[in-house]
Structures are given as C-alpha cells and as structure tokens.
Amino acid sequence: MSIVIPQELIERLAAARRVAVLTGAGISAESGIPTFRDALTGLWANYDPQELATPEGFARNPKLVWEWYAERRARIAGVAPNPGHIALAALEKRFERFTLVTQNIDSLHQRAGSREVVELHGNIARVKCSVEQTVASPIPQDDSPPRCHCGAYLRPDVVWFGEMLPADALARAEEAAEHCEVFLSIGTSAQVYPAAELPLRALSAGATVVEINPERTALTRHTQFSLQGPAGAILPQLLARLEATCRTGP
Ligand code: OAD
C-alpha cells in the first residue's frame, strides 16, 4: 500500500532532535492481536470490561479474570512484532532523544528492538500481589489464580479501569511529550485518559503532531499531519523517506 507522506513532514522529522511517540492497540493489530474498540473484532465489543478489567470484576470472579488474561498472554506469546514495530525501533536510533510511550501490554516494541519504552498500562507478562502490589516472578502455575505468600491473589500487572497509572511512567511520558519537536500518535483511538492527553500536551508545547491510523479519531482534527492507513505499511515508508532525505539533504 502506498500512502502519500508529505515531504514537509519528512523535513520536520529530519530537523528534529527529540521525538515522542504514543502507540495503542492498532500498532499490534497487524501482528494478530485484536484492538479494544473495533466495532466487530474489538475486545470490548465481545467482552465486558467491567467484569474483566476492573478491581471490582476481579474481586467478584478472580478465576474468570485470571484465565482471560492467561489466554491473552498465551496469544501474545505466539505472535511476532510487525513491520510497524520494527520501523519504530529503527527510527529510535536516528534521534538524540526518542521516547516510545505505549498503552500496550504486549512487549512487542521491546521484542522489535525498541529501547526507550515507557509502558503506561503495565505489562501482561508480569503479575503482582493484589494487596501488597509486589511483582511475582516467574508466574506461579499452581492455581487459577495463584496466591502471593501473604495469602492474597496474584493478578496481572496491568492498569485496570479506575486505577492510577504508574506515576513514574506517566511523568516520563509527560516530560517527553512536552519537550519533543515531533509527536507521533499511532494506532490509538485517543479516547482513554491520561494517555490521550499526551499529544495535546505536545501540541500546546509547540510540537508537530502526526497521527497514523486508518480511521479518524478524536485527535485527528488537532494534528498537523494525518496519515490514514495501517502503521505496518506507513512506518516503513516513513523511515525509508527519512533515510533518503538525510542521505541527500533537503
Ligand atoms: P483502541 O481499540 O481504542 O483503538 C485502536 C486504534 O487503532 C483505532 O483507532 C483503530 O482505527 C486503530 N488501528 C487499527 N488497525 C490499525 C493499524 N493496522 N495501524 C494503525 N492503527 C490501527 O485501542 P487503544 O487506543 O490502544 O486500556 O485503547 C486504549 C486503552 O483502552 C487500552 O490500553 C486499554 C483499553 O481499555 C486498558 O486496558 C487500561
């Protein structure tokens, strides 16, 4: 798929020293992981987030929640990073500062080679005590859910609705958004706060905000560049164009 990427955008990237990126479920869609809000295939179209992604849902039915995450963990373990993840890992090497903030819990950015990854919503590969919050590793397999040494259930180390984001991750994300020259919002519906506020913070601080998404979102009208298409096709083209421009000069 060929998508027109304006030369003006490539030149702004070529001139930038600091870049921040926010990714959402859409970046992993081409790896075979469902998004949340797709009307037909999205997880929240088929499962009730109140039952599966809240502390109250876990308290009501810990076994159901544990097993749903165990299934997702197994599915994620069986997929690979796609060309979108791989292009972002290559882009990171081209800038003085490149902060990749993700709402995803699937580690696919790290598996593609990205180093500076800020995980806003946790990571499904980790579990923690539901009372003490201490991380348990490796994941005990003895029960469903297994228990911490304190007797409480272990739970996935992900952020559920109604919970605070990890403070250090959020602070790093906000700092990167406020100090970048170009901000890329990729594969997110830009509906879940505080993540959705990051591109707006970047915009207020004077950054060029770019969206990569096949659909329009709540963010689109605020962006200077909206590249409509799949990230796995657009990001490799963006990288190739940037490399070509940097070789030959503007
Ligand atoms: P959503 O499911 O809300 O949005 C996914 C976005 O990806 C949509 O805008 C799609 O149009 C877009 N998309 C689909 N395929 C794409 C592709 N190939 N390339 C680029 N974009 C594509 O997912 P998020 O915005 O990540 O939170 O959702 C945010 C949070 O809501 C998640 O982290 C999760 C969820 O509830 C928690 O679980 C805490």
pLDDT tens across 219-250, in order? 999 999 999 999 999 999 999 999 999 988 65
In the chain, the largest separation of any two C-alpha atoms, in whole Å, equals 63
Residue 44: how many CB atoms within 10 A of its CB?
Answer: 14
Which H/E stretch holds residue 228? none
Instruction: Read off the pTM.
Output: 0.97
Q: Closest ligand 1 atom to the C-alpha of 189?
A: 9
Please tell me the residue having the least CA distance from ligand 1 atom 26. Answer: 24
Tell me the pairing of strands 208-212 and 97-102.
Answer: unpaired
With a 6 Å cutoff on the Cβ, whether 82 touches ligand 1 is no
82-117, pLDDT tens digit by residue?
Answer: 999 999 999 999 999 999 999 999 999 999 999 999
**pLDDT at 1 (0 to 100):** 63
Q: Among positive and negative, which fits the CA dihedral 48, 50, 51, 54?
A: positive
**pLDDT at 249 (0 to 100):** 67
With a 6 Å cutoff on the Cβ, whether 29 touches ligand 1 is yes
- Give yes or no: 149 in active site: no
With a 6 Å cutoff on the Cβ, whether 83 touches ligand 1 is no
**Cα(187) to centroid of ligand 1, in Å?**
6
> Tokens 């009730």 map to which residue?
48
**Cα(49) to centroid of ligand 1, in Å?**
14
Bridge partners, 208 (sequence order): 182
Check: CB of residue 195 under 8 Å from CB of residue 170. no
Q: Closest ligand 1 atom to the C-alpha of 36?
A: 2
With a 6 Å cutoff on the Cβ, whether 237 touches ligand 1 is no
Alpha helices in the chain (DSSP H): 7-15, 26-29, 43-46, 49-52, 55-60, 62-77, 83-92, 108-112, 167-178, 198-204, 231-248
CA atoms within 13 A on the CB side of 16: 27
Q: Encode the chain (250 residues) as per-residue pLDDT tens digits.
A: 678 999 999 999 999 999 999 999 999 999 999 999 998 889 988 889 999 999 999 999 999 999 999 999 999 999 999 999 999 999 999 999 999 999 999 999 999 999 999 999 999 999 999 999 999 888 988 889 999 999 999 999 999 999 999 999 999 999 999 999 999 999 999 999 999 999 999 999 999 999 999 999 999 999 999 999 999 999 999 999 999 999 886 5
